[in-house]
Amino acid sequence: MGRETKETEENRKTRHKMVVVGPHVSIITLNVNGLNSPIKRHRVAGWIKEQDPTICCLQETHLSPKDKHRLRVKGWRTILQANNEQKKAGVAILISDKVDFKAKQIKKDKEGQYIMIKGTLHQEDITLINIYAPNTGAPKFVKQLLIELKEDINNNTIIVGDLNTPLTPMDRTSRQKINKEIIELNEKLDQMDLIDIYRTLHPKTAGYTFFSSVHGIFSVIDHFLGNNASLNKVKRVEIISNIFSDHNSMKLEIKYKNKAGKEGKNVETKQHATEQKMDH
């Protein structure tokens, strides 16, 4: 009996150690198709609370720079945005109050097509790039952006968003061949050692993020791209259906080593003030 008790105690300690060593980090992405309606904003905020991600990336917020205060979600005080004066495009990154995140650098464009944030999450470096590619010439746009941000992209980079581009024939119900621009984008991804995380882990899954009523085709045009070397950090990637947008969302779960230990809330509060300054 004594031996069993000892083993149980050791198992419990091991389980506790695992929880401390590998904090759960999840990133969700969704093209929200406009957030100017208060009802829509309320529904999206409710959905984010329900999903409870570490980081939430949104595209097509359609907010102007002066409307940025409209995007508020309780529990995600750090909200970084790139918005367009004409209320087109628009991207946002929301970071949960539950994590120890420190922002070091932010890059964004005035068109609201992308935002990049560099920082540390649980004291590990992370670079996150949230993209909304335009409907026309999307593969070319993404390729050019990757070239521009090449110096910022490394092993710890996650590129996320609505790229408006199916990267493989599997990404469309029509199974048609991919065009020259998409081939060139894939070649650029290969050169930079970037992979499509969902398609790498689900090579034969017919799951889709968007339905084009014009063409009658389901496709995967929302993606998580990451460095090939960091694939071992990925725990899971999945498509999640929702009812308030014309896109489905995607969720990525990654494992991080926790060097942070038990750092107090005051660290997060101080950091929040810093991030707000950087955003302005």
| Per-residue confidence (pLDDT) for residue 265, from 0 to 100 | 42
- Average pLDDT value for residue range 245-259: 86
- Which position among 62, 122, 223, 247 bears the catalytic label? 247
Residue 51: which H helix or E strand, with range?
helix 38-51
Question: How far is the C-alpha of 90 from the C-alpha of 112, rounded, in Å?
Answer: 4
Q: Give per-residue pLDDT as tens, 41-92.
A: 999 999 999 999 999 999 999 999 998 889 999 999 999 999 999 999 999 9
**pTM exceeding the 0.75 threshold for the entire prediction:** yes
Would the pLDDT of 262 be above 80?
no
Decide if 247 is catalytic: yes
Residue in 132, 198, 208, 256 annotated catalytic: 132
For residues 82 and 3, the model is more confident at 82
Q: How many angstroms separate the CA atoms of 142 and 160, rounded?
A: 11
Tell whether the model's pLDDT for residue 267 goes beyond 50.
no
d(CA 92, CA 87): 13
Active site residue 132: yes
Say yes or no to pLDDT of 247 above 70.
yes
